[in-house]
């Protein structure tokens, strides 16, 4: 018989993709106010995996990942996605998004994104939001799954998230030692 146990706190990771890089500080500000200081920032990744967003957001598109210092409870992901959806709407012009915001969390064993779209591998977590198991950590690296978006499956993204995982592990170890 399994015994319920409290889930581990997670590292909040929020991805942004946009055409105008100058929008990022303004969009990140309300998230910093809500979730605390930013701990790590990725380099800019070229977002050239699809032209799906070009008519709405323009071309070229760029992705940047922000990692927050303060851990979150995993069950907060649905409300975080609702907040980022509100931000996307706030920055939209004439109903077209200028920024796409992908909140997720990182644990030792996985990286999970939030989405409003249901699919076979997504689990409903409340508020109209689903959890998407995006990457799993196996054999000392993050591994893509058959449904992982190409930008998250890319080597540079997985390498960045591996660095985030190292920082997360060090922080968790320090918390245990302090307790």
pLDDT score of 175: 87
**Cα 8 to Cα 79, 138, 169, distances in angstroms:** 18, 19, 12
Output the pTM of the full model. 0.95
CATH superfamily of 11-178: ACT domain (3.30.70.260)
pLDDT score of 176: 86
pLDDT score of 179: 75
pLDDT score of 139: 94
pLDDT score of 47: 85
Q: Is residue 45 a contact partner of residue 157, using CB atoms and an 8 Å limit?
A: yes
Q: Is residue 129 a contact partner of residue 115, using CB atoms and an 8 Å limit?
A: yes
Q: Is residue 101 a contact partner of residue 84, using CB atoms and an 8 Å limit?
A: yes
Which residues contact residue 121 at a Cβ distance below 8 angstroms, ignoring those fewer than 6 apart? 132, 133, 145, 147
Q: Which residues of the chain have pLDDT under 70?
A: none
Q: Alpha helix locations (H) across 22-131?
A: 23-35, 54-57, 77-91
């Amino acid at each position: 018989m399994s015994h319920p146990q409290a889930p581990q706190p997670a590292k909040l990771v929020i991805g942004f993709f946009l055409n105008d890089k100058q929008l990022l500080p303004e969009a990140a500000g309300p998230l910093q106010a809500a979730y605390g200081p930013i701990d790590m920032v990725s380099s800019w990744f070229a977002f050239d995996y699809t032209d799906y967003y070009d008519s709405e957001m323009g071309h070229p598109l760029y992705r940047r990942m922000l990692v927050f210092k303060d851990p979150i409870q995993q069950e907060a992901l649905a409300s975080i996605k609702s907040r980022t959806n509100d931000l996307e709407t706030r920055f939209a012009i004439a109903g077209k998004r200028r920024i796409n915001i992908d909140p997720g969390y990182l644990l030792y064993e996985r990286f999970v994104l939030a989405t409003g779209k249901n699919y076979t591998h997504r689990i409903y977590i409340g508020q109209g939001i689903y959890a998407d198991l995006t990457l799993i950590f196996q054999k000392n690296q993050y591994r893509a799954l058959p449904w992982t978006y190409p930008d998250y499956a890319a080597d540079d993204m997985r390498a960045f998230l591996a660095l985030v995982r190292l920082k997360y592990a060090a922080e968790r170890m320090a918390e245990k030692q302090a307790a």
